[in-house]
Structure formats: C-alpha cells, structure tokens
C-alpha cells in the first residue's frame, strides 16, 4: 500500500495547526464576539454566570435600575447609542467596548444625547 507523501504532510500540518489553535487561550472579548450573533447588540452582564442580553438590530431596550455589564458588542450594521453610568457613548457597527459600566438603555443611533 502506497501512501501519498503530500497527503501525509498536509494532514500533519493541519493537525499541528489545530492543536496550536486549541492550545491558545481565548480572551473574554473574542469569546463574547464569537457568541454574539450577526444582527444583534449583545450586552454581557458582569456576573460571569449570567447570559448575554441580545437586542435585535433596530430595536431599543431600557433597563430599569441599570444593567451592570463588562462588555457590549455590536454585531449589527448600525451604530447604537448606549446610555450608561457614568457616561454615554456611541458604539459603531461591528465594534466592542470592554469595561465595567451600568447600561441604562440602548437605541439605534440617530442622535445620541450627551
């Protein structure tokens, strides 16, 4: 039985690459971005066991008393106004903000109040 050396070499390279990739620790930012589906704004609560809150593109959401988050990821095609404490900001399309803050509301950007 003859084994093709090119096939063996390609298989060895692929296995090495897969093992190397698997050994790399994923950062929190890349983990959230990976689980935030396209077309959604995702808010990751600061509590590590809490599930992300997903807001569909074009929708607005308010959080009575605020939602303490560690990360906000915008996987939509539009910018979002994020009203938060101690500051508000505009989060562009396909952008992520990683810092602990309390989000009061989110809405598609048109005009974000300062």
82 and 90 Cβ atoms separated by less than 8 Å: yes
* Residue ranges of the chain whose pLDDT lies below 50: 1, 7, 9-33
Alpha-carbon distances, residue 16 vs 10, 22, 24, 41 (angstroms): 10, 10, 13, 35
- 78 token code pair: 């539009």
| Residue boundaries of the structural domains of the chain | 27-108
Q: What is the pLDDT of residue 40?
A: 98
- The CATH number of 27-108 is 2.60.20
Alpha-carbon span 68 to 57, nearest angstrom = 21
Q: What is the pLDDT of residue 85?
A: 87
* Per-residue pLDDT, 34: 52
Region of residue 112 (left: phi > 0; alpha: psi -120 to 50; beta: else)? beta
What pLDDT does 110 receive? 79
């Amino acid at each position: 039985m003859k084994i093709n050396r090119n096939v063996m070499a390609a298989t060895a390279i692929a296995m090495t690459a897969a093992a190397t990739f698997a050994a790399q620790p994923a950062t929190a930012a890349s983990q959230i971005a990976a689980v935030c589906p396209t077309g959604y704004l995702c808010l990751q609560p600061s509590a590590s066991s809490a599930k992300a809150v997903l807001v569909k593109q074009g929708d607005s959401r308010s959080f009575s008393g605020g939602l303490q988050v560690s990360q906000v990821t915008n996987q939509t095609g539009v910018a979002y106004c994020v009203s938060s404490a101690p500051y508000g900001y505009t989060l562009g399309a396909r952008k992520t903000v990683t810092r602990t803050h309390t989000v009061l509301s989110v809405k598609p950007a048109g005009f974000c109040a300062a």
